[in-house]
Amino acid sequence: MSGLDERTKTRLEFILDEVCSTLPKGGDHESRKFVAEQLMLCARAGKTSLEELAYAGQRALVQLRRVASSARSDGLIEAG
């Protein structure tokens, strides 16, 4: 997280935890990593308010759910 100020880092961690709290068991490593990467892209683009980061986190969740849904429908993973 180099290059980001402490306030932004705190916001990123807060939003990551908030967003991932909606996932089963707080999200697995890969899910949390994906959300974190999307949040970092947002922050590096200068969008660092809580609202902007929360929106980016929610978009990341939508993408994760689409991928999981697609994988289930393709028979790649079991519905759980």
Enter the tokens of residue 67. 């991928």
pLDDT score of 78: 56
pLDDT score of 1: 61
Nearest residue to 22 via CA among 35, 40, 7: 35
Q: What is the pLDDT of residues 22-69, one digit of tens each?
A: 999 999 999 999 999 999 999 999 999 999 999 999 999 999 999 888
Residues recorded for the chain: 80
Quick check: 16 and 57 in contact, CB under 8 A?
yes
